[in-house]
Amino acid sequence: MFKSFKKFFATSLVAILALSAIVPSASAAEHQFIDVNSNYDEAVSFLFEFDLIKGKTTTLFGTDLNLTRGDAAVILANVLELDVESAPSAGFKDLNSRVRGAVNALTEAEIVSGITKDKFGPDILLSRGAMAKFLNLGFGLEDYAETTPFTDAVGVFTPHIEALYGTGITNGKTPTTFGTNDNIKRGEFANLLYNTIMFSFYLYTPFAESATILSPTTLEIKMEEVAPKDFPAADLAEMFYIEAYFKNGSVKGLEFVGSSLSADRITLTVELSADSSLEGKKGKIEINGRNEIDFDFTTPAVQPVETK
């Protein structure tokens, strides 16, 4: 399930990084919701910009309205880019057509479960404890769990609350209470989902320390950190957003047809598709909006160019 999530960031979210050149931010995004104040604006703007969440109307987000289990399932399945069309039936008899695909996909991925064997409870209000479970299992945060100071972090939701606390995604409603049994409001959910996305983005997204153009079709990227063992070279390559800015003023996103990792898992070599070849062209490329490399393949003999 997390592979789809990584690919989402490799395209859409990393593109925003390229535009901002510093951090993914929704400060420039626009929405028409008049009930979203400064406490929720960044999260709602970001989620709205990427079409991950919708308002109750064109002008109202419903910031202070409670969130249902069905609505939360639709939003989460959308964020994780799960296959809601072909997921097998989870066996719940109370699902309508709007939420059925999302719930089936999340159930298959073992992220959600029903209130009984044959009922999911899509119209039941989502508690903060259940929300913690959705986010923890959806984004794979189990390894970051820490003991909390919350006196109400008890029962089946304890490990999920500890995961959100350990990542710093939430500090609770008060220093000693998480509000486990409280219903979560749409504004609160937007903030927590946004915080979870940002945590996961920086956790799983590689950044380039330097890069070298070896040939018109070969790039070498030295990463800031050693790539995790469970990340194949192909997945890492998808998480770099590379654009070429040509001398004639045109811009093109470069596509890869092959990739490999060095033995120490710090250097990624990518092969460009024929359509993305830099042969006979001059300009610069940018990697995730941060690393700029000039190139000139308009003459036969060009030495590799390195930048930091």
**SS3 for 17?**
helix
Which residue in 291, 293, 260, 296 sits closest to 278, CA to CA?
A: 296
* Domain 208-307 top-level CATH class: mainly beta
Which residue in 189, 204, 170, 192 sits closest to 13, CA to CA?
A: 204
pLDDT tens digits, one per residue of 31-73? 789 999 999 999 998 888 888 888 999 999 999 999 999 999 9
Asked if 78 and 105 touch (Cβ cutoff 8 Å), the reply is no
Cα dihedral sign for 98, 100, 105, 110?
positive
Least confident of 16-20, 118-122, 195-199: 16-20
Mean pLDDT within 261-282 = 96
**What's the predicted TM-score (pTM) here?**
0.72
Distance CA 283, CA 212 (A): 14
Mean pLDDT within 247-262 = 94
Residues 39-67: b if buried by 16+ CB within 10 A, e if exposed: ebbbbbbbbbbbebbebeeeeebbbebbb
**AA identity, residue 84:** V
Which residue in 301, 295, 304, 260 sits closest to 277, CA to CA?
A: 295
Least confident of 20-29, 73-82, 285-294: 20-29
C-alpha dist (Å) from residue 153 to 84, 116, 183, 195, 207: 32, 23, 15, 20, 36
**AA identity, residue 233:** A
Q: What is the CA radius of gyration of the chain?
A: 22
Asked if 235 and 259 touch (Cβ cutoff 8 Å), the reply is no
Q: Give 3-state DSSP helix, strand, coil % of the chain, rounded to 5.
A: 35, 20, 45
Report strand pairing: 251-253 vs 256-261: unpaired
Residue 14 has a CB neighbour count (10 Å cut-off) of 22
- Give the distance, in angstroms, between the CA of residue 51 and the centroid of all CA atoms in the same chain: 13
Which residue in 176, 175, 182 sits closest to 157, CA to CA?
A: 182
Residue 149 has a CB neighbour count (10 Å cut-off) of 13
C-alpha dist (Å) from residue 31 to 38, 39, 102: 13, 15, 25
Q: Which residue has the higher pLDDT, 12 or 105?
A: 105
Alpha helices in the chain (DSSP H): 2-8, 14-20, 41-49, 69-79, 97-108, 128-139, 158-167, 186-204, 233-238
Domain boundaries, the chain: 2-204, 208-307
**AA identity, residue 33:** F
Q: Give the model's confidence band at 300: pLDDT under 50 very low, under 70 low, under 90 confident, else very high.
A: low
pLDDT above 80: residue 281: yes
Q: Which residue has the higher pLDDT, 301 or 270?
A: 270
Q: What angle, 0 to 180 degrees and rounded to 10, lies between the N-to-C axes of helices 158-167 and 128-139?
A: 70
- Which residue, chain included where needed, has tokens 């399932």? 73
